[in-house]
């Protein structure tokens, strides 16, 4: 599909200006790409949502839990592998995010994860990637999530640097209202950063991975401890988290969007 080289929104191959960010499009400036799935660190902007990254645990065609047929490995995030799969019951494509091995041995962490996923399911907002369910197969736990056709903000910023001002303002507003919807539902993100924000095929910001960073409090494992570069001082020093912690991280994300640094 044809994408704007600035904001990754879908555009007509003959367009002279992106309708989303208003970036002028000289002849040959657009390109056809498939962009990565939800909330992962993909190898680069050419990684496809249906592509397979070498080294995945499950090969395409594998049916998990009698319900999810694996299409391919989207990538490997901070916690584990993320797969594109087809929900055979509903006939829809979903993302399966696997959690670290050994989680089933920690009852407190697993109980907290179930609580957070229940809360995350309450967030029904256009600027938030939907969380569907939590499951287990072969002793491995996974979370099923909405599959976003888009590129994560971290990848986008690495590729183009600073966003055009109008587009940065637009995405900032969407991220803010999405985060507010989560806080209104009583859930914190705890690890808000560009790689956990998708820019979908319509050029809209979608926050992902709500509820997953919360395991830090139970596991003590660094993989759940958030990202130091985006942590508020009280979170970094004492592990204290609140809505203010998310707002601190939000400010850093917005700074990157407007400055490219």
Catalytic residue IDs: 191
Q: How far apart are CA 253 and CA 130, in angstroms?
A: 21
C-beta separation of 93 from 71 below 8 A: yes
Q: How far apart are CA 146 and CA 125, in angstroms?
A: 12
- Order across the sheet with 205-207: list the strands: 150-152, 197-200, 205-207
Taking CA atoms, 219 is separated from 15, 40, 82, 222, in Å, by: 51, 22, 21, 9
User: What radius of gyration do the chain's Cα atoms show?
Assistant: 18
Token digits of residue 169: 């303002």
Contact yes or no for 203/4 (Cβ under 8 A): yes
175 and 205 in contact (C-beta within 8 Å)? yes
Q: What is the DSSP letter of 128?
A: B
DSSP characters for 167-196? HHHHHHHHHHHHHHHHHHTT---S---GGG
Nearby residues of 251 by Cβ (< 8 Å), 6 or more positions away: none
- Give the residue carrying structure tokens 């001082």: 233
Structure tokens at 13: 């191959």
Integer Cα distance of 21 and 194 in angstroms: 19
């Amino acid at each position: 599909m044809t994408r704007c080289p600035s904001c990754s929104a879908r555009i007509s191959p003959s367009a002279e200006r992106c309708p989303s960010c208003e970036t002028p499009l000289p002849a040959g400036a657009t390109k056809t790409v498939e962009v990565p799935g939800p909330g992962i660190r993909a190898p680069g902007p050419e990684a496809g949502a249906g592509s397979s990254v070498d080294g995945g645990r499950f090969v395409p065609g594998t049916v998990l839990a009698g319900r999810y047929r694996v299409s391919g490995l989207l990538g490997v995030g901070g916690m584990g592998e993320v797969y594109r799969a087809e929900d055979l019951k509903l006939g829809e494509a979903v993302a399966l995010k696997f959690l670290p091995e050994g989680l089933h041995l920690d009852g407190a962490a697993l109980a907290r994860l179930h609580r957070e996923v229940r809360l995350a399911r309450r967030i029904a907002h256009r600027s938030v990637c939907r969380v569907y369910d939590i499951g287990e197969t072969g002793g491995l736990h996974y979370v099923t999530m909405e599959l976003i056709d888009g590129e994560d903000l971290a990848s986008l910023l690495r590729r183009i640097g600073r966003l055009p001002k109008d587009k940065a303002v637009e995405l900032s507003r969407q991220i803010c209202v999405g985060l507010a919807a989560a806080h209104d539902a009583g859930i914190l993100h705890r690890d808000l950063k560009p790689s956990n924000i998708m820019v979908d095929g319509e050029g809209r910001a979608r926050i992902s991975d709500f509820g997953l960073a919360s395991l830090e409090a139970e596991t003590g494992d660094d993989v759940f401890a958030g990202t130091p570069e985006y942590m508020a001082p009280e979170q970094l020093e004492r592990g204290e988290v609140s809505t203010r912690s998310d707002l601190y991280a939000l400010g850093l994300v917005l700074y990157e969007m407007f400055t490219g640094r």
